[in-house]
Structure 1
Amino acid sequence: MPRVSIGLTATAAAAALLALAGCSDDGATDRGVAAATTTATSDTRVVAPGAPGETADVIAPGEEFEVVEGGYSELDVRFVEQMIPHHRQALQMAELAQERAQDDRVVLVADRIVAGQGPEITALESWLEQRGLPVPAADAAHDHALPGMISPLQLEQLENTTGAEFDELFLTYMSQHHAGAVEMADPMIVEGTDQLAVEMATDVSVTQGAEIGRMREILDSL
């Protein structure tokens, strides 16, 4: 039977979370929500896109089809909630460049990071809020165990450095930081369940991957 996927409303997703929250096989908390599936009858001819690499289904008038609504996994939730503090540290680092950087190219890279990741944080926070999930507090300590996160000592180095030395440290640490974000995003692109979360992961991987290349070019030319 053909299937059509549509999104759950925020209210429905939150209700499903309360009803279906449980534990995964390894005993860890599983905050995922199973997709809701209903059956409907088509009034007109409809083409339902297939999954990547699959052909589309054609639903004829009068034919029954499955409607798959929403659903997201623990992987989706962890990616979104961990990318928020990851982005916040990137903003903290980038904002230092406005007063400390010497090379105009470094300032431009930092400005693009602020312009891009600021709105992304808002989108990530909205994703959690719409599903009734808590948003990491703005004053919460960064989880330095996340891939690419710099240590408090490294951040202090940036804060206490200016000029050419700052430029080199910033490009080195931000390249490391971006590489960690790509490392976090790539599994989501393959295994993520929620379409919006997968799209955000794809944007992180593509955008920050390109920025890594640009920062390495600048670093090599210093």
Structure 2
Amino acid sequence: MQDFSVVKIGLESVDPLILAGIRFTLCALPAVFLLKRPQVPWRYTIGYGLMFGLGLWGVVNLGVKAGVSPGIASLELQFSAFLTILLGAAVFRESLSRFQYLGIAVALAGLFSIMFVTDGTVTLVGVALLLFVAVSWSVADVILKQAAPKEMLAFLVCSSRRTRTPSWDTPCGTACCASTRCRPSRRSPCSFRSSASWARC
């Protein structure tokens, strides 16, 4: 929950998607210059970066900005635990016991009760965004299991390098994009992706 409280503070002065871009830039630097590319197909680092970086933290920021309190946001993300179980059963042919199904049903009933909170800490748009976040997190978990990287740190660093939020691609570059004055634009010579320094991943 502390993490979401800090997110809420950050959103007072920074665009939600730019804040996510800053987060994963700091995750990648300076390790991206020191580590070798993990020995996994490109689709896994790209997929994980998009799902975990943009789909999870980018949309979490949008949800908190839309009016969901940090406490409710951290609670609603627990939907991902159940979705991961169900996705794992579908993708990896894992079998579930009746007790697991019963536990999922009871826990989901409790989480769905969040939607009936009327004290101003929940908005319909915010809840919808965070449900999308839970799905993204579950998909990211499945991608990670499929990739099974031996170099986990290198995998996370390269995935962070591939986290690309729309508001982050600005001519302002990484140095000044922590400002709400930045606006999305087409690829530019000083944009996040175009730097040749990132070619290692």
- Normalising to structure 1: TM-score of the pair? 0.26
- Normalising to structure 2: TM-score of the pair? 0.28
